[in-house]
Structure 1
C-alpha cells in the first residue's frame, strides 16, 4: 500500500534543505508543515515535534533576516533547540537528511549578529 507520509517526507526535507541553503527561510518553514500536521494527526508526537523544531529554526531565521524582527527571532530560535534533540529518538526515512537540515540551520544561525 502507498504510504503518503514516506513519499512527502522525502520530498519535503530535500526541498526544505534547498530553501534553507538559498536563504528562503519563509518558504522553508512552509515545506514541512504538511508532514508536521500529518504526524500530529497520526499521534506520532515525537516526529511532529522534530519537524516543529526544524520549522521553528527556519521561522526564527526568517524573522531575523527577512522580517527584521530580532525580538521574534530570540523567542522562536530556542524552540529549535528544544525539539531537535528528539531526532535521535525517532525513526524517519532518510534520517541523515534531517540531521543535515539541523546542521544547516545551526550554520545559518551563526550569521546572526555577525
Structure 2
C-alpha cells in the first residue's frame, strides 16, 4: 500500500511542531498496517514514528522519563527503514531525519 499522501501530511505537521497530530496520523496508519501479513513489518516503522512524535511532545510537557521510554521504542524499530522494501521508503527516511532534527531542537 502506498501512503505517500498521508506521510506528506505527517511531515508537514512535524515541521510545524504539531507532534500530537502527527502521532495520530502515524497511529492510524499503524493500525491499518499491523494486522496484514503483507504490511506487518512496515507497521513497525509506523509504530516507531508514532512513538517518536509523541516522545517529543511528552518532553515538552516535562514528562522526561516517559518521553525516554517511548523514544526507546522508536530506536528499537528505526533500523527497519534502511532494510525494508516499500515504495514508502524515501518518505520514511525523510521522516526519520526530520524527527531527529526536531528532537535535537526540543531535547538538548
In the comparison of the two structures, how many residue pairs are matched?
A: 107
Helix, strand or coil for the counterpart of 1:27? helix
Q: 1:110 aligns with which of 98, 101, 104?
A: 104
Q: TM-score, normalised by structure 1?
A: 0.85
Distance 2:51 2:35 in 1: 19
Superposed displacement of residue 89, structure 1? 2.2
User: Which structure 1 residue ranges, 4+ long, deviate > 4 Å from structure 2?
Assistant: none
- Residue of structure 1 equivalent to 2:86: 92
* Unmatched 5+ stretches in structure 2: none
- Residue of structure 2 equivalent to 1:60: 55
* Unmatched 5+ stretches in structure 1: none
CA radius of gyration, larger in: 1
RMSD (Å), alpha carbons: 1.4
Q: TM-score, normalised by structure 2?
A: 0.89
